[in-house]
Chain A
Amino acid sequence: MTAVTTRQTGTERPSSTGPAASRAPQRPSKPLHLGTKLIWVVVTIVVIAAFWSIDISWDALLTLPQKLVHYLGLMFLPPAWSKLPDALGATMLSVAMAWFGTLLGIIISFPLSLLATRGLTPAVVRWPLRGVFAVLRAVPEVVIAVLMLSVTGLTAFTGALAIAIGSIGTLGKWGYESFESVDRGPIEAATAAGASRLQVMRWGVWTSAKPDVYAFWLYRFEISVRASAILGLIGAGGIGKMLVDNIQFRVWDVVGMLMIVVVVVTMIIDQLSGMVRHRIIEGRWELPIVTALRRRSVKRARSESVDLKITADD
């Protein structure tokens, strides 16, 4: 009971009014509240300052609903399905870009993340590598692609290279994090048996980290698919380029169709990759949506059984 109350006072901070105030004498942590209040005041001031200082003509808001309805009507009533084959071709190009870039990123980042793992390499190697990962993560793919323009010109290949470089940052970080969270037992055993550094990585680390690593490779592919659509917007080809071209020429029904294609394709790829991920981790093929539905029904069944128990107790 006491544990419950202390936990509640701990989490209640943001909304500590009314009943909490009347119980105030019981709490020793008044100064902390003052600090929190100060933070809230600062946050409020910052938000208000942002609203007040930004250069926006807010009257645009008034006409927005009617404009939005107008444009949505132009886009989706009806979408231009006749251009669907073109859109699918462009989508395939985007997906190819994402696949190739991710694969290249995996090939480059994998050895690097092993080198950045604590316990496997000296700090001299580790920290510069982690710094590189952090910088690569902070730079958006689009910016990397802009930088790559001078190297290969603006092609889908540029896009793939940009995705590769961009994914090195995240993949490298996830890689060394999962290598570090591996159970130490096999590593110790391998070391004790006289394994070299490389052998420790192969038999002590890789075997246990494998499922996680495969899973985040797939997850990164999902991110890359989204990124490749974005790269098209600066001209790297694929669905993004088609979209920008059509927006520029104000062909709204094609834009609407493209938006539907983007959403549907993203959903399908997420489901497929989720299915493979489920196979890797759980050992069975299953679509994520099926997993979600089953979990829901299991939960419902469980709560119903609890209800039954309660009524039985009555």
Chain B
Amino acid sequence: MTVAGAVGDVRPTKPRTWWKAVVVLAVIAGITVWSSIAIGVDVAAIAENAHNAANTLIQLMQPDYSFFPQTVPALLQTVQMAIIATAVSVVIALPVSFWASRATNPNSAALGIVRFIMNVVRSVPDLLYASLFVTVVGTGALSGIFALVLFNLGILVKLVSEALDGLDRGGQEAALASGASWFKANRQAMLPEVAPVYISQAIYVLELNIRASTVIGLVGAGGLGMLIDQVRTFYQYHYLSLVILEILVIVVLLELLSSFARRRLIK
């Protein structure tokens, strides 16, 4: 407050008054009270079930490693789904990102259409896609792959087209001036510039897919999520903790790999 007062002579009015803080706090408190009523906060239930929870935690701390052979197919499927979905979406996302960037697409009508579609694609949660494709295609890895591909497209196109927007357009301008078509100019001048970003985002997406494919399995789209769903219905916490451990290991490994690869790419 006192610091703000010192620069006060630069500003025409003192920007902050105590009542604003009170209003903000009141709004936050109001929403919080409403939300706690809506969800039915029940502290007593936690206290009551403390014993139960302790038991669960103890079971969780002792993963049953003998269950491992049974998890291998699901584990493998999770990795396969993530790789395939990333590969497919990487191929689709490249032209679409060029289409969705102002720097590489001179046609503003086409630009608007693509951007609107991509906005909609992005705002649908991955799990929604998964449940939709499970009903259309049936349970299994294929519906999971479809869900992941759409999920990836949203992210990849946004990130890559934004990278394209931020590029220096000198090379492209030179190519256009020398009579190249937009396609050729983008191919020769913009693609090499955006390639490192593109590859590093692809790795990031692969990492996201491993996480996501554990979740989308819950609605029947294959992978470790399906296994989680099976063991949770029987409260087999020894098994569950093993599955969680596996997810943790894959995620951490991939994170290491991707941070290494990205450091190499960006240098």
- The answer on a CB contact under 8 Å between A60 and B247 is no
Q: How far is the CB of B65 from chain A (nearest CB, A)?
A: 19
The residues of B that contact A51 with a CB separation of less than 8 Å are 84, 87
B9 at the interface (CB under 8 A from A): no
The residues of B that contact A22 with a CB separation of less than 8 Å are none
The residues of B that contact A140 with a CB separation of less than 8 Å are 211, 214-215, 247
Q: How far is the CB of B127 from chain A (nearest CB, A)?
A: 5
* Tally of A-B Cβ pairs under 8 angstroms: 179
Closest A residue to B219 by beta carbon equals A233
- The answer on a CB contact under 8 Å between B80 and A146 is no
- The answer on a CB contact under 8 Å between A226 and B102 is no
Instruction: Count residues of chain A with CB under 8 A from any CB of chain B.
Output: 72
Contact string, A12-35, partner B, CB cutoff 8 A, digits 1/0? 111100000000000000000000
- The answer on a CB contact under 8 Å between A263 and B53 is no
The residues of A that contact B192 with a CB separation of less than 8 Å are 8, 11-12, 14-15
Mostly, the A contact residues are helix
B52 at the interface (CB under 8 A from A): yes
Cα–Cα, bound, A95→B45 (Å): 22
Closest B residue to A252 by beta carbon equals B135
A192 at the interface (CB under 8 A from B): no
The one of B35, B119, B132 that contacts A96, using a Cβ cutoff of 8 Å: B35
The one of A13, A47, A71, A259 that contacts B83, using a Cβ cutoff of 8 Å: A47
The one of B31, B42, B53, B142 that contacts A56, using a Cβ cutoff of 8 Å: B142
B176 at the interface (CB under 8 A from A): no
- The answer on a CB contact under 8 Å between B135 and A71 is yes
Could you list which residues of chain A lie within 8 angstroms of chain B, going by C-beta atoms?
8, 10-15, 46-47, 50-51, 53-58, 60-61, 64, 67-68, 71, 92-93, 95-97, 99-100, 103, 134-135, 138-140, 142-143, 146-147, 149-153, 155-157, 159-160, 207, 226, 229-230, 233-234, 237, 240, 243-244, 247, 250, 255, 259, 262-263, 266-267, 270, 283, 296, 299
Query: What 14 additional pairs, Cβ within 8 angstroms, besides A99-B31, A155-B40, A230-B125?
Result: A13-B195, A47-B83, A50-B80, A50-B84, A53-B80, A56-B140, A60-B142, A97-B38, A151-B49, A155-B42, A160-B35, A230-B127, A259-B124, A263-B123
A-B contact pairs, 26 of them (CB 8 A): A14-B192, A15-B191, A15-B195, A50-B79, A53-B76, A53-B80, A54-B141, A60-B142, A61-B142, A64-B136, A71-B132, A71-B135, A93-B39, A95-B35, A97-B38, A99-B35, A100-B32, A142-B225, A147-B240, A150-B235, A151-B46, A230-B127, A234-B232, A247-B135, A267-B123, A296-B102
